[in-house]
Amino acid sequence: MARSIADVLKKNRGTAIAIGLVVVVLFRVGFIPLFGGLGYEYALACGLLLSFMFFGKGMAKLSAPGAIIIHFFGGIHEIYFPYVLAHPIMIVAMWAGGMSADFVFAATNAGLVATPSPGSIFAYLAVTPPGQHFGVLLGVATGAVASFVVGSLILRFYPVKESEEEVAMETGTPAPVGVPA
């Protein structure tokens, strides 16, 4: 027996089912891409890590290139969390990248057909529907540029304070007497 959406909603199945049904119906009639813009943290973190690579100090600057490779190609997004936690104002750069990426995804009607997993850019492109690669890549690039620009400005005006250990490593302080170098 076929039931309508109204019948399902009357059964009080929870808001998740109701929202899911609305999203699927809108997708089926062509109003929205199913997972539009999900996973744009590729762009945000890449821009953030690039700003640390060019304008950061200490270990954050030295470790950022490796973190970019691990994050963007390997799909391990947690790698950028310490950079934001070490300098919490960098969340503003993440917001700027997210808003600009969302704007481009909405303007180009770009989206994904599934959640990208394991999380690398290759998986992201694999679940991009045919004909939407330009919008998806434009959104990723726009988000990366926005988070890079804002993150770079933040690091220029509010630089990360280096710990005494990092300063000692950079200046090459000799080892204490009796300790092999």
What is the per-residue pLDDT across 118-134, written as a single tens digit (0 to 9) for each?
A: 778 888 888 888 888 89
Q: Are residues 19 and 74 in the same domain?
A: no
Tokens for 159, please give them.
Answer: 């630089």
Residue 47 parent element (H or E): helix 41-55
| 17 confidence band (pLDDT: 50, 70, 90) | low
Tell me, yes or no, whether 91 and 156 share the same domain: yes
Confidence of residue 113 (pLDDT cuts 50, 70, 90): confident
26 within domain boundaries: yes
pLDDT band per the 50, 70, 90 thresholds, residue 148: very high
Q: Looking at the structure, do residues 56 and 124 belong to the same domain, yes or no?
A: yes
Which residues span the domain enclosing 105? 33-171
φ, ψ at 32 (rounded to 5°): -140, 150
Contact 140, 101 (CB under 8 A): yes
What's the pLDDT score for residue 62?
Answer: 92
Same-domain check for residues 46 and 112? yes
Backbone angles phi, psi at 161, to 5 degrees: -80, 130
Residues 19 and 90 both lie in one domain: no
pLDDT, mean over the chain: 79
In a domain, 106, yes or no: yes
The total number of structural domains in the chain stands at 2
Residues 101-129, mean pLDDT to the nearest whole number: 82
Phi, psi at 112, each rounded to 5°? -115, 160
| pLDDT for position 1 | 47
